[in-house]
Amino acid sequence: MGFPDRIERIVEIANPPAKVWKALTTAEGLAGWFGNEAVIDLRPGGAARVAWAGGQSVDLRVERVEEPTVFGFTWHIYGLPEEDPRRTYVEFTLEPVGVGTRLTVVESGFAQLPEEAHKSAYDSHTEGWASELGELVAFVDAA
Amino acid sequence: MPPDVEAIAEQVFVALADPSRRSILAALASGGPATATDLAGRLPITRQAIAKHLALLTEAGLVTAEPGERRRVRYRLRSAPMQVAQQFLAALARDWDGQLDALREHLSR
């Protein structure tokens, strides 16, 4: 099946790194393409939030700030319960190419295993047996 | 040996590929823990088939049998494997292509 742990994209942008950097790391920039509103405390460990017109929002934690080449943050895995501690790490790398920028985005950590999944797999043998015995009993009872 | 995420996600998708198993999981999700007999009363599936599906779902770790006496054993949904499958779907739904198009468009304005 191939469980993707890492997503990677490289795009060429016709604007210089300084301009791309602003779009990625300032509230005005992020509100221009990522969401409709944004706030960001641009330093490792700083908090950021991007919100959309529909009322949805996402919280980011800034991890790497190396102007104007590397910007990294972590965020919650979309679709998992709020209290789930797992996060993916997103890193943007900006590289000047002529007058433009080669932008690489890598998001990694999709294949982390939740604690509970480990536990369940260890248990599943016992549970499997319990259920097989239950099935046998049900079968005998039904006969 | 801890299982890998791929094996767990695969079990979820295999379980969900069958309409009877989907309806059993949906019944447990919406109505809470139930015995095989309860489920047979609510779904158009024979009790025997339900027992077979519950055994497979238990083996996959998608439901868990609550301790109880014989025919009163109640099965409940386990969310951990579902969350692993959600991670897989999250990766597919990430849509960086759309986001990066939006970034380019923003910068070209």
Task: Name the residue facing B100 among A11, A112, A118 (closest C-beta).
Answer: A11
CATH no. for A6-24+64-142: 3.30.530.20
| Amino acid A125: pLDDT | 44
Minimal Cα distance from B99: which residue of A? Answer: A34
Ramachandran assignment for A61, one of left (phi > 0), alpha (psi -120 to 50 degrees), beta (any other): beta
Cα–Cα distance measured from residue A72 to residue A42, given in angstroms and rounded to the nearest whole number: 10
Look up residue B14 and give its amino acid: V
Question: Residue A92: is its pLDDT beyond 90?
Answer: yes
| Amino acid A128: pLDDT | 47
CB distance from B86 to chain A under 8 Å? yes
Q: Which residues of A touch B55 (CB under 8 A)?
A: 128, 131-132, 135
Supply the pTM of this predicted model. 0.78
Cβ-defined contact of A138 to B51 (cutoff 8 Å):
yes
Interface probe, candidates B1, B6, B101, B107, chain A, greatest A C-beta count within 10 A: B107
Read off the pLDDT of residues B7-47 as tens digits, 9 standing for 90 and up: 889 999 999 999 999 999 999 999 999 999 999 999 999 99
Query: Mean of the per-residue pLDDT values for chain B?
Result: 91
Classify the complex by whether its ipTM is higher than 0.85, answering yes or no. Answer: no
Cα–Cα distance measured from residue B36 to residue B39, given in angstroms and rounded to the nearest whole number: 5
Q: Which residues of A touch B65 (CB under 8 A)?
A: 127, 130-131, 134
In chain A, what percentage of residues exceed pLDDT 90?
Answer: 64
Indicate the range of A46-60, A85-99, A125-139, B68-82 predicted with least confidence: A125-139
| Domain residue limits, chain A | 6-24+64-142
| Amino acid B56: pLDDT | 93
Question: Residue A127: is its pLDDT beyond 50?
Answer: no
Q: Which residues of A touch B83 (CB under 8 A)?
A: 80-81, 84, 114, 117
Distance from CA of B49 to the nearest CA of A (A): 11
Read off the pLDDT of residues B44-80 as tens digits, 9 standing for 90 and up: 999 999 999 999 999 989 999 998 877 789 999 998 8
Q: Would you say A110 and A74 are in contact if contact means Cβ atoms under 8 Å apart? A: no
Higher pLDDT pick, A25 / A130: A25
Cβ-defined contact of A34 to B51 (cutoff 8 Å):
no
Q: Which residues of B touch A11 (CB under 8 A)?
A: 100, 104
Q: How confident is the model at residue A118 (pLDDT cuts 50, 70, 90)?
A: low
Question: Residue A74: is its pLDDT beyond 60?
Answer: yes
**Exposure string (b/e) for B35-69, b if CB count within 10 Å is 16 or more?**
bbebbbeebebebeebbbbbbbbbbbbbbbbeeee
